[in-house]
Structure 1
Amino acid sequence: MEVLSTAQGDAHCPLPRVVKTTQAAQPDRDLLLFMFGLTQGMRPQS
């Protein structure tokens, strides 16, 4: 294993300086229905 540089380890992945948090994350309704359908289909048939 070869270490190229340890001077700036986090230089390749900088954090965003301005993060827009004005819009709340809303899950897609189709995705929620799809996941609900998957959970309903996974029930054991008795």
Structure 2
Amino acid sequence: MSIILSIFNYNIRLLAWVDIWGNAMGWLIRILLILGGGILYFVYGSYDDEN
């Protein structure tokens, strides 16, 4: 959602800190957050308890 809103020059206050270091670094941080969330989803999201 943050990426879509940043295209229209609107930032969520919680994630406004990512643009402190510049536009390119802000995009890199957003992409890393998405990748980190995806990794967490695949590692812990499909946990099946076989007991």
TM-score by length of 1: 0.38
Please say which structure displays the higher CA radius of gyration. 1
Structure with higher RCO (Cα < 8 A, 6+ apart)? 2
TM-score by length of 2: 0.35
Higher share in helix: 2
